[in-house]
Structure 1
Amino acid sequence: MAKLFLFVLFLFIQNPCKLHYLQHNEKFPPISEADEQGLLAIGGDMSIPRLIYAYNHGIFPWYDASQPLLWWSPDPRMVLFPDKLKVSKSMKQLFRKETFTVTFNKDFRAVIESCAEIRRDGQHGTWITQEIIDCFGDLHELNIAHSVEVWQDDNLVGGLYGIYLEDKKIFCGESMFTRASNASKYGFISLVRKLKEDGVKLIDCQVYTQHLESLGAEEISRNEFLSYLDVSA
């Protein structure tokens, strides 16, 4: 409790006019009230209705076990338009050789748990808490959270998961992992190609990374991103 108090106090000192601390079942504030880093609100709950509402309105949870529940809507927003996917020559060779086998929604739990376990440069611990694993597992049962599995010799060597807003033709990528060189990239490219066939308009990548940019992702304004969701700030 003391750690939570100190964290909230720090945020309040940094942004005294923009801090929104949600009570259970309380609605999100207007997205335009997110701070410069994209932090919109703190607290609330991880109920299925809240998560569904959040993703349909350009909001996503991102926090670690030492923090309270944090909700974000950054500006700009990193997205990938399927037509702009970049596939390098080396990746094209891997596809020609059929280096990996890709499946969809075959083992969601294994994918999200692997994403939580993988250690990443500059990251201490994981934001994929047990609460996240359980809640997204429930969303998978509702056919809202989807996974991509990448296999090599019957071993799961890579994958990713995210939220599929099928009615809005938007896929919200959450996390990926790899245990073999280029496995997660192979799965991501396979997913984008499949989503393009399904008429998906864009893949939400949330925030900038050089890796995503190399695959063709780009930053757009939050307002433009929200327009694809048919909502406003």
Structure 2
Amino acid sequence: MNPIRIPQLSMHNPGVFPPAAKALQDPDGLLSWGGGLGPEWLIPAYQQGIFPWYHPDQAILWWSPEQRYGFIPGAVHLGKSRRRQLRQTAWTISADTAFSEVIQACADCPRAGQSGTWIGSAMIDAYTHLHVMGIGHSIEVRDGDILIGGLYGLALGRVFFAESMFSRYSQASAAALYALSETLHDWKWPWLDAQMENPHLALLGGKSMPRSDYLQLLAKESIITGPEGAWTAHFPNRNIADYLAKTRMA
């Protein structure tokens, strides 16, 4: 069998990728390798349905799964037991008040079946730069003054690309995702991207979308102007119970 050749990206042509449909026909969809992690690479990558995912000791690998996974905003599902547990808390939700803490917690958080982390120092620096630009955002869950969970990702146009979540208390990451989903629903955004399926996301109501449909969505929605700068004012330390009280059962 002939070896499969994966295209190498040229540092002389930042942001130029092979078409996403050229990714390997496997569940993960490896597309190319090399390039960089500056905004001139990351922004066009996400707009074309491509994202980096690699071990810090490796070259940068770029992926575009044949089936994209994510959520329709407003449709994150919290079952009765989750809702009951969250209603009994005094947890508050905020945004962009602790981006560095959130991304570091995501890097440090142990995950079942994984050793080490793919969120190395280069990734942290790259996404922190996008946060400073007003493109990277974090959602924080606090119990009093203690950061207990959250997520971070990118917003381009009317699409949010969630990168990673963490929980120090049970259900804290679900609370962050739910609050973000409800807010994006209020803003009439069409998609909250989660890249690839996992059992935790499936229990929360995630949906698959064929890559061809996803690319059509991005072509329309990722270039629209969305809220600029920090999202702190849009998440005014509301209690998670308030989010649950104003929404319908998923």
Pair in the same fold by TM > 0.5: yes
Which of the residues 124, 133, 150 maps onto 2:124?
Answer: 133
Q: Write the deviation string for residues 141-187 of structure 1: whole angstroms up to 9, x where unpaired.
A: 1110100111113111101001111x2x1111100001111111111
Q: Write the deviation string for residues 83-125 of structure 1: whole angstroms up to 9, x where unpaired.
A: 4321211222244334311111111000000000111111111
TM-score (norm 2): 0.82
Aligned equivalents of 2:190 and 2:3: distance in 1?
37
AA in 2 matched with 1:193:
E
Which of the residues 177, 189, 208 maps onto 2:178?
Answer: 189
Match of 1:24 in 2: 11
Question: Alpha carbons of 1:55 and 1:119: their partners in 2 closer, same or farther (altered >3 Å)?
Answer: same
Question: Alpha carbons of 1:83 and 1:179: their partners in 2 closer, same or farther (altered >3 Å)?
Answer: closer
Task: Give the 3-state SS of the residue equivalent to 2:149 in structure 1.
Answer: strand
Q: Is contact 1:161–1:173 with CA below 8 Å preserved after alignment?
A: yes
Aligned equivalents of 2:12 and 2:120: distance in 1?
21
Aligned equivalents of 1:217 and 1:158: distance in 2?
20
Q: Which has the higher contact order (CA 8 A, sep 6+)?
A: 2
Q: Is contact 1:91–1:186 with CA below 8 Å preserved after alignment?
A: no
Aligned equivalents of 2:140 and 2:70: distance in 1?
22
Aligned equivalents of 2:85 and 2:2: distance in 1?
51
Task: Give the 3-state SS of the residue equivalent to 1:32 in structure 2.
Answer: helix
Give 1:25 deviation, angstroms. Answer: 3.5
Which of the residues 54, 58, 65 maps onto 1:74?
Answer: 65
Aligned equivalents of 1:80 and 1:187: distance in 2?
14
Which of the residues 196, 206, 209 maps onto 2:198?
Answer: 209
Determine whether 1:179 maps to 2:168: yes
TM-score (norm 1): 0.88
Which of the residues 145, 149, 153 maps onto 1:154?
Answer: 145
Determine whether 1:87 maps to 2:74: no
Aligned equivalents of 2:2 and 2:108: distance in 1?
33
- Aligned residues: CA RMSD: 1.6
Displacement over 6 Å in runs of 4+: none
Aligned equivalents of 1:14 and 1:76: distance in 2?
24
Match of 1:120 in 2: 111
Q: Is contact 1:25–1:45 with CA below 8 Å preserved after alignment?
A: no
Question: Where does the alignment leave 5 or more consecutive residues of structure 2 unmatched?
Answer: 221-250
Task: Give the 3-state SS of the residue equivalent to 2:106 in structure 1.
Answer: helix
Q: Write the deviation string for residues 27-76 of structure 1: whole angstroms up to 9, x where unpaired.
A: 21111211123111100111211111111111110001121100111111
Task: Report the identity percentage.
Answer: 38
> What is the number of equivalent residue pairs in this alignment?
216
Task: Give the 3-state SS of the residue equivalent to 1:42 in structure 2.
Answer: strand
Q: Is contact 1:77–1:221 with CA below 8 Å preserved after alignment?
A: yes
- 1 or 2, which has the higher helix percentage? 1
Task: Give the 3-state SS of the residue equivalent to 1:82 in structure 2.
Answer: coil
Aligned equivalents of 2:50 and 2:77: distance in 1?
27
Match of 2:90 in 1: 99
